[in-house]
């Protein structure tokens, strides 16, 4: 056990000072020795929290060394039905179970997921660098969701009528943590096809965590996501069925499972970030079909191939279904051989769901954004605090003057000129750095804030605040 812990508190811990610093400052000047010592300690502690938070965020932004734990390190917090994160710590790594079942489920689920990535893929935590795992339970009141906010997992209790607590299914915990794996690897954009792939990859590794924890082969597995979440009386088996998308539930209060099982039924929508939780049914089914055809323990065949692609050098943040499918066929070929059962099964699975083969061209033209309405990704990093912000937007979703300005900038080669004009050496200290990417216009520019015209910098800032979320 050589756990190193340079980060004694998680990134959000600045919220726990009830007494403000200016008041503590006054106490240290007032004269009472005991009070002064306590106040100084508190001030020092708060300062440590603030600087820890800043340096941690900056480190993550720079993809530098991370938390550096060499064994699993979990911290479970209780939001006590508030929406303040992370809440109060209720179970640290190595501590015994608490009377609260949600706390223990979160703790165990994080451990199962960490062990899965460690033992199957030799991956040290979700970022590959020993990131400490943080989970908050009892988030909000009757909150019907769980999410990954970029730094930690958050679980609601459910409404108690349709959904129970979101810690109850280990595949949900594996799903949320895998968003962290994707974030630190392929970093798939969270909208449309790359977003649906992002969702599907979380389902894939979430369900593999469950299967490995239960010791199930592909044939024995139920391929359900969130089977333990639905309350008795709900007409359904789970939230999603990877092998039979669209059949997980059909309930008068919930409606019917909207997932398509193949490309012929791909759902065009602007809601749900372009249907990321809907169209993920298609790659989900491709995975489940491939895994059940290959047989045995799914993480060793199809799971290994999906992991190779996710962590490989070929995948891009804008990857669509057809590109991803071909990458899995290529990865299966290089790992198992071109005519291996694994490569055959994977190729056949993608053909069955209509992603590879005859339907591909029509599918792509139907689902790729038109050139006149491209996706633009803006990210801002750097700055004194080192906080990264990013947004992916469709120009049509922006207010008109901004959309028009974007179109003229993208079409005129302006971003390439801004990039070329920035001084390569001696950048402004604490300056913001922006990246603007728009594959439709062949733009992928890194820009430094101080060298941009004001109206362009303002446009980027407005776009950052109007963007869709990139994680859920
Ligand atoms: Zn998700």
Whether 346 is covered by a domain: the verdict is yes
Ligand 1 geometric centre to CA of 174 (Å): 10
Q: Is the domain of 361 the same as that of 405?
A: no
Query: Which residues, at least 6 apart from 146, have a Cβ–Cβ distance to it below 8 Å?
Result: 153, 154, 155, 156, 166, 167, 172, 173, 176
Ligand 1 geometric centre to CA of 249 (Å): 18
Q: Which pTM was predicted?
A: 0.65
Q: Is the domain of 276 the same as that of 325?
A: yes
Whether 228 is covered by a domain: the verdict is yes
Ligand 1 geometric centre to CA of 199 (Å): 5
Q: Is the domain of 294 the same as that of 323?
A: yes
pLDDT at residue 36 in the model: 52
Q: Is the domain of 358 the same as that of 380?
A: no
With CA atoms as reference, report the closest residue to 239 among 265, 262, 261, 258: 258
Q: Are 315 and 327 spatial neighbours (Cβ–Cβ below 8 Å)?
A: yes
Catalytic residues: 176, 277
Neighbours of 458 (CB within 10 A): 13
Q: Is the domain of 209 the same as that of 250?
A: yes
Tell me the residue range of the domain where 73 lies.
13-168
Q: Is the domain of 318 the same as that of 352?
A: yes
Residue keyed to tokens 């004269």: 31
Q: Is the domain of 359 the same as that of 397?
A: no
pLDDT at residue 381 in the model: 53
- For residue 240, what are its two tokens? 């999603």
Domain count, the chain: 3
452 vs 457: CA distance, rounded Å: 6
What are the helix and strand counts (H, E) for the chain?
14, 13
pLDDT at residue 275 in the model: 94
Q: Is the domain of 204 the same as that of 257?
A: yes
With CA atoms as reference, report the closest residue to 207 among 224, 190, 220, 195: 224
Rounded average pLDDT per 10-residue block, the chain, 472 residues: 38 24 37 48 39 38 57 96 95 98 98 98 96 96 90 93 94 94 94 96 98 98 95 95 97 94 96 94 98 98 98 97 98 97 98 80 39 69 40 78 82 84 50 74 78 74 62 38
pLDDT at residue 154 in the model: 93
Whether 174 is covered by a domain: the verdict is no
Q: Is the domain of 101 the same as that of 218?
A: no
pLDDT at residue 33 in the model: 56
With CA atoms as reference, report the closest residue to 400 among 466, 453, 449, 447: 466
Ligand 1 geometric centre to CA of 168 (Å): 16
Question: Peptide bond before 25: cis, by omega within 30 degrees of 0?
Answer: no
Whether 315 is covered by a domain: the verdict is yes
Q: What are the two backbone dihedrals, phi and then psi, of residue 150, each rounded to the nearest 5 degrees?
A: 100, -20
Residue keyed to tokens 């943040």: 317
Q: Is the domain of 109 the same as that of 42?
A: yes
Dihedral of alpha carbons 269, 271, 273, 277, sign:
negative
């Amino acid at each position: 056990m050589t756990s190193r812990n340079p980060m004694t508190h998680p990134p959000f811990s600045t919220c726990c000072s009830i007494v403000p610093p200016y008041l503590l400052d006054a106490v240290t000047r007032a004269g009472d020795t005991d009070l002064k010592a306590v106040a100084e300690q508190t001030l020092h502690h708060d300062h440590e929290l603030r600087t820890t938070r800043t340096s941690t965020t900056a480190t993550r932004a720079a993809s530098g060394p991370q938390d550096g734990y060499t064994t699993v390190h979990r911290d479970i917090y209780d939001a006590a039905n508030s929406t303040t994160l992370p809440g109060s710590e209720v179970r640290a790594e190595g501590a015994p179970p608490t009377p609260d079942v949600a706390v223990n489920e979160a703790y165990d689920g994080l451990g199962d997921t960490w062990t899965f990535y460690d033992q199957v893929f030799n991956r040290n935590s979700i970022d590959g660098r020993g990131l400490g795992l943080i989970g908050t339970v009892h988030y909000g009141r009757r909150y019907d969701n769980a999410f990954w906010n970029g730094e930690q997992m958050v679980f609601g209790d459910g409404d108690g009528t349709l959904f129970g607590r979101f810690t109850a299914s280990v595949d949900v915990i594996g799903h949320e943590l895998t968003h962290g794996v994707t974030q630190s690897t392929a970093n798939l954009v969270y909208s449309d096809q790359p977003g649906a792939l992002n969702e599907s990859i979380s389902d894939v590794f979430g369900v593999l965590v469950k299967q490995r924890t239960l010791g199930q082969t592909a044939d024995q597995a139920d391929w359900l996501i969130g089977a333990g979440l639905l309350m008795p009386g709900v007409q359904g088996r789970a939230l999603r069925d990877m092998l039979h998308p669209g059949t997980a539930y059909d309930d008068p209060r919930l409606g019917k499972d909207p997932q398509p099982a193949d490309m012929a039924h791909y759902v065009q929508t602007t809601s749900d970030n372009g249907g990321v939780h809907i169209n993920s049914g298609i790659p989900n089914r491709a995975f489940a079909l491939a895994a059940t055809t290959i047989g045995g323990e799914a993480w060793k065949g199809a799971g290994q191939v999906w992991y190779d692609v996710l962590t490989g050098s070929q995948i891009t943040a804008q990857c669509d279904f057809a590109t991803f499918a071909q990458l899995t066929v290529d990865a299966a070929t290089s790992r198992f051989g071109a005519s291996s059962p694994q490569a055959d099964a994977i190729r056949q699975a993608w053909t069955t769901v209509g992603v590879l083969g005859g339907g591909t061209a029509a599918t792509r033209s139907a689902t790729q954004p038109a050139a006149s309405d491209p996706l633009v990704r803006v990210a801002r990093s750097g700055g004194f605090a080192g906080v990264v912000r990013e947004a992916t937007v469709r120009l049509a979703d922006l207010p008109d003057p901004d959309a028009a300005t974007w179109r003229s900038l993208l079409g005129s080669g302006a971003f390439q000129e801004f990039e070329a004009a920035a001084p390569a050496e001696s950048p402004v200290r604490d300056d913001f750095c922006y990246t603007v990417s728009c594959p439709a216009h062949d733009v992928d520019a890194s820009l430094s804030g101080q060298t941009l015209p004001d109206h362009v910098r303002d446009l980027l800032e407005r776009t950052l605040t109007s963007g869709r979320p990139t994680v859920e």
